Structure 1
Amino acid sequence: MPLGIVLRRTPGVTRWARWSWKAVAVLPGAGSADWRELRRDGDVIEYHAATRTLELYAAETEAYMHGLAARIPSVYVVMRPVLGQHPFDILLVTASPFEAQDYSDSAEDIVEKVPMTPGLVAWVGEFVDLFHRGESFVKRQRDKRRVDLRQDGIGDPRIGKAADVYASPRLMRSRLS
């Protein structure tokens, strides 16, 4: 599903940051856009920065369920700061909080959490209902094999040893003297 990404620019509160940017909304089914101004209120401007496709995968339904169960179901917008006319390159939008966490581990990308619209919540929920396969818990059973009867891993047998490898150093010195 194509999602338009809405970014809001507000004046910065410090002398080091002239502007503050935040992803504030998504527009489901939006057409293509390249930083089109949507709204202006003094110095505060909202832009339809880009449109990215929200792709859902059957293998990720557990992550989507986790995101839908949150107090406020959200999508995550991944942006990368760039130099040029516009401050960010919108990399992708995802409904998976696990994928968003992977991107936030990098210091290069900015991940913004944006609330889903009710229609988007229904669309992702329907996808999860269709494709989610719950995994049942299977307790691992120990085998009956006795692994403690054989000594293994005491060192390389090709290398000669002056004494028992388990002997304390003081006992080994007295034997060598």
Structure 2
Amino acid sequence: MHGPASPGWLLVALCAATGTYCLLRMRSSVEEQRGAAGGEALMGFGMAAMAVPAAVFSPPGWVWPVYAVVFGAAGLRALWAARTGRHHLHHVVGAAAMVYMAMVMAASPAHGHAHGASGTPVLTGVLLLYFTGYVLLTGVRLIPVVAGGGAGAGGRAAAGWGDRPELARACRLSMAIGMLAMLLPL
């Protein structure tokens, strides 16, 4: 570690890389992949921007309400999409967490990046429990299962790299880990 800004920059890099990969997944030939990837790209880049260390850039006060509106709209879109698939509910929770963090930042005296900010302990705890559970469950799902017989890598070659479900899961896992890192200081 090279001072307190290092973890913030690592989080920025993780979230920006995830957002970039999600943008690339939007070129998928699978409609469901494209729809989910757009919301995940927004989440990744929003988290990256929110995680920039305050010593480098402290955004003006009007930024936080804009974050709340943008992620509120993303949450409503995900809620609408949840009619067709349960997996969109995770996007609803993620967007709600981003709205919550933006509101906490807007209410903090210095409008800092969680320095001196204090959220509602119960809500922060519930979000921490949710994302911890999500990280553990998704991590277990990423553990490769040894296939018996002829199901090797040949079946996977037909899918494009942007359509591989394990990469999408790894993307969601990295964003959930990032969300945990952002919620802890609250």
Q: Same fold (TM over 0.5)?
A: no
- TM-score, structure 1 length as denominator? 0.20
Instruction: Mark the structure with the bigger radius of gyration.
Output: 1
- TM-score, structure 2 length as denominator? 0.20
If each structure's strand is expressed as a fraction of its own residues, which one has the higher value? Answer: 1
